Each structure stands twice: as C-alpha cells, then as structure tokens.
Structure 1
Amino acid sequence: MKLVFAFFLLLSSIAFAADRPNIVFLFADDQRPDTVAAHGNDFIKTPHLDRLAANGLSFRQNYCAGSYSGAVCVASRSMLMTGQHWHNIKDTRNWDGLPTLPERLGENGYRTFAVGKWHNGLKTLARSFQSGKNLYMGGMSDHTKVPLQELKTDGTLAEKEMGTRFSSTHFADAAIEFIDDQDSDQPYMLYVAFTAPHDPRNPPPSYRQLYYENRPPLPDNFLPDHPFDNGHVSGKKRDEGLAAHPREQSVVSDQLCEYYGLITHLDGQVGRILDAIESSEERDNTIVIYTADHGLAMGSHGLLGKQNVYEHSMGSPLIVSGPGIPKGKSTEAMTYILDLHKTIFSLCGLPIPNGIDGRDLTAIFNDPTASVRESIFLPFQDIMRAVRNDRYKLHVYPKINHVLLFDLVDDPEEMNNLADHPSYAGIVKQLTTLMENWQKHVGDLSPLSVDNPGPKEVDFSKIERSLDRWQPDWIREKYFDGRANADHGN
C-alpha cells in the first residue's frame, strides 16, 4: 500500500512540475545598457533583441549590484546564482552554504542544463546543473578558439575540445540542440552564458566591417582620460590597457565598431535560439530572460572597462518575455540582476526560499509603472561607492575623499558634478545618509572616507599596459604595436 501511495505521489509531482513554465536564461557578457536598438540606439542592429522586446517587458534601469572583484562578472554571476548580495557571499569561490537557483529548481522537478561561460569553478557548476554542453570554464578567450567541455551527469567534465566556430555560434548550437530534445513531461531551465561582447573584440570580419562603414558616434561622455584616480585607473589594469593613454577618438571609434559587431553577431545567435523555442511544442510555456552581467565603459569618462560605478558600466539590459508577461512594454523600475533569483521562483509557481536578497519583480509584470525599491546601491570593492534615487546619484571615492553628485534627469551622462555647489549640500547629505543606511542593510563595513587620502591626480604616461594571451594577432598588431609577449593569462 505504501508503495502504491508513493507511486501516485510521484506521478502527481511529475504532473504538477510539467505544468510549470520553462526558463531560458540568456546571459551576455559586458553589454552596455544602451546597446539595444529597441531601447533607443539608432546606430546598432539588434533585430532579434528588438523582437524579444516587442514580445516582452524591458527593464530600463537594471543594475549589477557592484563587485568584490575586478572581474565584475564573477561577483555578478555569484549574486544571480545564490540570490545574495556580494557582502553576504563569504565563500566567493564555492558558495558554501548557499544553495543555487538551478540547484533548487532541480530539486523541484526541473531539468537543468548549462551552456557557455562558467567563471565560478567546477564545484558550483556541478551542484547547480544536472548536465551541460559547450561549456567554457574561464573568464575570457579568443572567440574563434574557445576550449569547450561537457558537464556529465556524474558532475565531472569531459576533456576539452577546441571550438572550430565562433563562440556565440557554439553556444547557440548547444542551446538549440537541448531545446529540440525536450518534451512536455518535465519543465527545464536552460542557462546560456555567452562570452560576447567581452573582448577580445574580434567579431567575424563582416560584422566589424558593417560598423566601420556605418560608424556609431562616440559616447556623449567620451573623455581622453578619467579626470581623477578612482582606484582602478592607476597601475597595470587589464581592461584599461586595451587602448593607450590618452584615448584617441579614432582608436575608441574602431573599438566601438568592433564591440557593436560582437553584439550584432550575438543578436543573430539569440535569434536562432528564439526560433527554436517558437518551433517547439513548449513555445507557449517558455519564459525567456535576456540580460548581461554588467555594462562596459567603451570610452565613456575616459575608461574602457567595467570597474567603475557609472551608469554605463553598472547598468545592463534586461528583457523578459513569455506567458503572463506584457508585450512591447517597458518599465523604469530600479532593479538588480540578482532580483531575478526571487522572480524566477515566482514565475515557476514555487515558494521563494527564506534568506534571499533582492526583490520579486512579478508585481511589475502586472503593472509596469510599479516600483520595487526607491534607491540603488553600487559598492565596488573598497574603492568606490554610489547610491541613487529616482533623480540624483552620489559617488564616493573613499581612498581620495572625493565626492560626485549628478542629476540623472538633466545629466544622464554623469558629466556635471554638483557636489561642490552650496545649493546641493542638502542633497549630498541626504544621499550620504542613504548610502550609510544601505551599508548597514548589506553589511558593508568599508569607510566612506580616510584620514590620509591619496592623490587624486594620475600620471597616465607612467601606466604600463597589460596584454593578455587571448588577443588575436590582428588586435595585437593594431592596438599593441605588434607586441608578442603576453603578461596576463599565461
């Protein structure tokens, strides 16, 4: 009798699970929030992201919640997977004691499958996903020579095989194969983490040529160099070494063309995945989430990397499409990428586990004018802090006791510092208090000033450029004077 009861209990749980939606999570790498045509960029071609936006809800103020590392992607992905703010992730390598999103979905009847970049170690991968294909276990590689591995069902990795196609194509291939193999008996979570548009900025030649011939303008906040030492511009920094100082407009223009080329090629692979979903029997029961781990400076404020707290680097696109999601709408609600952890549980009809940070965004699906928070906090290591409300944004650079204040309504490019204007002293005080409250909330113990601040000025002529081994020959020739010896990633 007990066996019969257990059998029917198993059947009922399988039937209940089968009614739940599938989740296809598409994760770009280093994509600025302003690089989707449907979101107002008239110079980039993203027809498939535009299609997704037309069929879903676009979040226009979405952020990475800062980082404990210069490899911002590591912290961003850790927060997404654990649902914890980075100050609450004590074991940043293995996430010990912190169940992951796909791990919990698997416990609730989901098939979980990973494709693409995983920069958080094998231990976390093996307990998060039941299997995976065309995985890249690292932070970056030449897009045309990606070492790929399979995650076997026993939690081990197969031997590496060198990819023969472009990275985004390989990842889309594996995603499509997985989608085509599914049936309606078991819901799934498919996680596809692209390595584009992270450098090396070497899209297929026709894609960069497309933008060389139709050049996008430089960012409105382009500067030859950052005006002060933010804590990450001095010294031998990889991302900031991708172009010489001062930044020449022609060099940044070429790199922007190459960056846009990566995004347009990625967009085409997203289109292939969307086509596979639409051709499947599960098309009406599949939720697609597209976002990126963070943005990128690409010449804004004299910077190239993402190791800063400006909007262009902490922001990222976010589009959600599927059953129950409004079509062709957008929201100005301030959100974090880590909010997707709670949100996915709600979308799947599962109880949200206790102790998860972030907010459930499903209220916004019902009313895109709704909000889930009144402010955003952006802490980067112990060298930068920013907080914003619906209008103003405060930057604090504790190592040099420097403060910036921007009116994001009148100055969305963050170029006109109001912090020293007496009429804005009250706003600075108000936002400083808000920042301190956020610090208490997330357990951030870093001071906002120091007794012996360092110099603000930077002698950019003394900065050595770092070259990593993944840059292809034509990029070394073009941007590094043909330099052969790499000093990073060996």
Structure 2
Amino acid sequence: MKKPNVVFIISDDHRYEAIRSSGNGVIQTPTLDALSGEGTALEGMHIFGGLTGAVCAPSRACVNTGRPIFRSMVGSDVSVWEHSVNIRPDVPLMPQTFRADGYHTYAVGKWHNDKGSFARSFAGGDKLFFYGMSDHDRVPVQPFDPEGSYPQEREQVCETFSTELFTNAAVDFIREYDREQPFYLYLAYTAPHDPRTAPEPYAGMYDPETIPLPANFLERHPFDAGDMEVRDEKLARLPRDEAEIRRHIADYYAMITHMDAHIGRVVSALKDKGIYEDTIIVYTADHGLSIGQHGLMGKQNVYDHSIRIPFILRGPGVPQGRRIPALASNIDMFPTLAELCGLRMPAGAGGVSLVPLLEGRERLRPVVCTAYRDVQRMAKDSKWKLIRYYRSPVTDTGTDRIQLFDLEADPWETNDVSGDPANAPHIRRLAEELQRWMEEYGDFMQERPVLPN
C-alpha cells in the first residue's frame, strides 16, 4: 500500500491559544479550525527550548531531529551563535529520513538552521529563506541548489508578501507533482513574526479598541528573568501601555488570519489534485509569544504563552474530532510522523511517538520540561508548574529564584504560590523531575542546584 503524502506546515511565533478552536473567541482561523475538526489537536505540545534569544533555530532543530538541543546541535555554549543554529552533521533529520525511505522531499520557506542540514534533507525546493526574519514584502530567497551550497549571491529579493510567496510555491509544487513516490512537503512560514504588517483587508480586520487584554497583562515583568534587553522586549515601550499592547495583539491576529487563509489554498490544491485524503497535514509552530503577557513581548521565557504551541494532525491514521490535553514535547513530532508513515526511526532520538495518545492507549509524558539559555528551566505536570530562574555567569543577568503555579486554578500563571509551605511537596517533586530530565538529555545546567539555597 502506498504511504501517505505529508505536508508539514510550521509557522513562526504562533502560540497555542491563538486559534479559534483552541478557545480564543476573538481570532478568526477557519482553516485551522477545520483541520483540527477533521483530525486531532494535541493541546499539550511544548517546545524543548532554546539556547539564545533566537528560539526559532534550536526549536526547529528539535522538531526536525527528534532530539534535545543538547544532543542535536554542534555545541551548547550560550555565547556561541553557531551552537544555537548548526545541527550536528551526524544527526539524521526528519526530512532526511523520509528521503532515505523513498519520499520526494521538497522545502518552501524558512530554514533557520545550517545549510548543510538542509542540503542532506531535501531533493527539491523553492523560495528558500535562510534567515531568522525580514520585512514581509522584501524577502531574500533562493531557488533550490542541487550543489547544496546556497551562496548569498544566489539570493533574490521578492516583494510578494512572504505568506503569499511561500504559499504560491507550495501550491505550484502540489499542482505539478507527477511522481509515483509519495512526497514530503515542508512549508515554513515567517508569519506571524514581526514586523506584523498583514496586507489589506486583513490589516484592518481587528479593531484594537475591542481587543481584550490578557488576564496576565502587566506593565512590566516583576524581576529580571535573564534576558530583559533582547530585541523582542524593545518592540513596545516600558511600562507597557494598554492601548499599544492591544494594537500589537490586533496586528498579530491579522497576520495569523491572513496565514490561515493561505493555508486554505494549500488544502484546496490537495483537494483539486485528488490527494487530500491520502495526505497527512501537520500544523505547528516553533514557539509562542508574550505580547504583553507578564509584561513581556518576546518568547525568551518559559511561561505557557511562549512554550506551548499548536500541533494539529489530519489525515490517514489520525482520529477525527479529537482534542488531547496530554503533555508532549516537540521532539516527539518526528517519531510520531515516522510511525504514522511506517518509517524506522533513527537511533538516538529522545522523542517518543504520540501515536499511542492518538489511539487513546496511554499517557506518555507525566511531566514535560523546557530550557531557556542558562537562565531558566521549567517542569510541569497536568496541574503544577515549577519555573527555576538562575543568575547567568556569562551575562551577569537573571535572578536566583523559583515560581510555582497551580495551573488548574490559575491557567494564566498570575499567582506564584511557591511561598506557601503546603506546596513544598509539589516543588520537591517537580525539582526532582527536572533534575532527572537534565541528566537524561545532557543539560549543561545539571550541575547547578535545581532549587535555590
């Protein structure tokens, strides 16, 4: 029996709740709502983490290798940029594994990791973007390079809006595909990353005055979380102004709704080709975003708005109309797709297949953890969440402290209950889980105390 095609869609900065079917009553996302209704939304998906402020790159490396950042990257020195971007040459990637199994692998859009890992993964592609961000109407892209070198002089600056530019290339690929072998299409948007300049009519779709502020809006974060001067945090003035934050949220939603419409074009192309029912569609993101929550603007933190991401699956082997709250990590995406498509998973991956969750057989991760640089670590179960903050010896920033949140009573993480003596057992238990996670995945912070003295 022919294996299913795969369309793997990954966006930039899309947090888990900014989808209407995830409970957001303001945003309009009809395509993603339909995909989740026809498939399964795994609501407990979290990123593994990042080693620099550009969380995009290490997070995408985790997705594409199924390995923790400490074992997928060429190093883990937070002061060395290449350690957060370059994937080890001996580590097999998801598209590389699909390619070796006979899939025709094709890429469109953003690849924020090294060009060597891209070259060994894809047999074709178009409109390839090897940076972190750009103006959406001036996008430096390259055509596919059979030599795999992608020198900068091959770049062409395209003035078509990035979301439309990448969608056009993906739709053209689907329409023109005439091979017998199944395909693996990797479609990586730069939306809804700033600059959040959605074209009309989307730019005016959301009135900032009617946008509700999140329950955890703050004028400023109450302490130094370790990366308070990163670029993202300078996108709005301090103290955070309510009207300005509403405008940022309106622009963010506009970018997402515009992207959703173009994902709809990809779905239509699959249907027109007659292969929609034979194709697994994945939608996810590299991380979330604060935009005023906890007084922050970026993703350089381990609050849920920044580490929880969408993960929607639709297609052969995926149950319809299910929403699964169980905890998962983005290193689990590769093993899940491999099992759904009948591929042998390469040895050494730290992720686990989520197919047992899809089938309702078992809960796989009672605890999930996340790392950010050398200043934050997080461990959470279905009810409690522990955040450990460190003072960085590299940058001399950060705070030596913890937070504990009761997520059932306080899903917006507004009330730190770590000072309540009754919660000491929860702190100890999650600290022990975090220590085990650090040791299992080779975290360079494992020698630092998990709890402050």
TM-score calculated relative to the size of structure 2: 0.92
> Is the 1:184–1:282 contact (alpha carbons within 8 Å) kept by the matching residues of 2?
no
In the other structure, the counterpart of 1:250 is 243
The 1:315/1:450 distance shift into structure 2, 3 A limit, reads closer
Deviations 1:247-281 (A, max 9, x none): 00011110110010000000011000011111213
Letter in 2 for 1:232: D
Residue 22 of structure 1 is matched in structure 2 by 5
Counterpart selection for 2:202 from 187, 196, 207: 207
Q: After superposition, where does 1:178-197 map in structure 2 within 5 Å?
A: 178-183=173-178, 185-197=180-192
Say if 2:402 and 2:451, in contact at 8 Å, map to a contact too: no
Say which is worse superposed, 105-114 or 345-354, in terms of deviation.
345-354
Aligned to 2:34: 51
Q: Which residue of the partner structure matches residue 377 of structure 2?
A: 385
Tell me the alpha carbon deviations over residues 15-56 of structure 1, each in whole angstroms, 9 at most, x when there is no partner.
Answer: x6xx11111000010001111111111100001111111111
Summarize the Cα distance change of 1:208–1:90 in structure 2 as closer, same or farther, 3 Å threshold: closer
**What is the correspondence of 1:199-278 to structure 2 with a 5 Å cutoff?**
199-212=194-207, 215-233=210-228, 235=229, 237-278=230-271
Is 1:405 aligned with 2:400? Answer: no
User: What are the within-5 Å matches in structure 2 for residues 12-411 of structure 1?
Assistant: 19-91=2-74, 92=83, 93-157=86-150, 159-183=154-178, 185-212=180-207, 215-233=210-228, 235=229, 237-367=230-360, 370-399=362-391, 400-411=399-410
Deviations 1:331-389 (A, max 9, x none): 0111112211111111111122221111101112222x742110001111110011001
Distance (whole Å) between structure 1 residues aligned to residue 27 and residue 282 of structure 2: 21
Query: Which segments of structure 1 move beyond 3 Å, counting only runs of 4 or more?
Result: 447-453
Secondary structure of 2:369's partner?
strand
Checking the alignment, whether the CA contact within 8 Å between 1:21 and 1:286 is kept in structure 2 is: yes
RMSD, aligned CA: 1.8
Residues 36 and 44 in structure 1, CA contact (< 8 A), matched pair in contact too: yes
Residue 485 of structure 1: aligned partner: none
Q: Secondary structure at the match of 1:128?
A: coil
Q: How far off its partner does 1:451 sit? A: 12
Q: How far apart are the structure 2 equivalents of 1:99 and 1:358?
A: 13
Distance 2:334 2:358 in 1: 15
Task: For residue 87 of structure 1, report the CA deviation from its aligned partner.
Answer: 1.1
Q: CA 1:259/1:325 → structure 2, altered by over 3 Å: closer, same or farther?
A: same
Structure 1 distance, partners of 2:107, 2:304, is 29
Are residues 273 and 167 of structure 1, via their aligned partners in 2, closer, same or farther at CA, if it must alter by over 3 Å? same
1:201 is paired with a residue of what secondary structure?
coil
Partner residue in 1 for 2:396: none
Q: What one-letter code is carried by the residue in structure 1 that aligns with 2:51? A: Y
Q: Structure 2 CA distance, aligned partners of 1:151 and 1:445?
A: 37
Work out whether residues 403 and 416 of structure 2, in 8 Å CA contact, stay in contact via their aligned partners in 1.
yes
Question: Are the counterparts in 1 of residues 66 and 330 from structure 2 also a CA contact under 8 Å?
Answer: no
Counterpart residue type for residue 291 of structure 1: T
Letter paired with 1:69? T
Give the Cα–Cα distance (whole angstroms) in 2 for the partners of residues 103 and 262 of structure 1: 31
Q: 2:384, 2:61 → 1: CA distance?
A: 28
Is the CA contact (8 Å cut-off) linking 2:208 and 2:247 kept in structure 1?
A: no
Letter in 1 for 2:127: N
TM-score by length of 1: 0.85
CA distance in 2, matches of 1:205, 1:448: 51
What is the DSSP-based 3-state SS (H/G/I as helix, E as strand, rest coil) of the residue aligned with 2:154?
coil
Q: How many Å separate the matches in 2 of 1:451 and 1:342?
A: 33
Aligned-pair CA distance for 1:205: 3.8
Query: In the alignment, which residue of structure 1 is the partner of 2:427?
Result: 428
Q: Secondary structure at the match of 2:219?
A: coil
Letter in 2 for 1:420: G
The C-alpha deviation readout for 1:265-300, integer Å capped at 9, x for no partner, is 000110000111112132221000000001000110
Cα deviation for residue 130 of structure 1 reads 1.1
Instruction: Report the equivalent of 2:436.
Output: 437
Query: Partner letter of residue 43 of structure 2?
Result: R
Q: Give the 3 Å change call, closer, same or farther, for CA 384–28 of structure 1 in structure 2.
A: same
Deviation for aligned residue 1:401: 1.9
Please give the alpha-carbon distance, in whole angstroms, between the structure 1 residues aligned to 2:344 and 2:121: 18
Q: Structure 2 CA distance, aligned partners of 1:372 and 1:300?
A: 30
The number of residue pairs the alignment matches comes to 433
Contact 1:215–1:257 (8 Å) recurs in 2: no
CA drift of 1:184 comes to 5.8
Partner of 2:142, secondary structure, is: strand
Distance 1:109 1:61 in 2: 32
Structure of higher CA gyration radius: 1
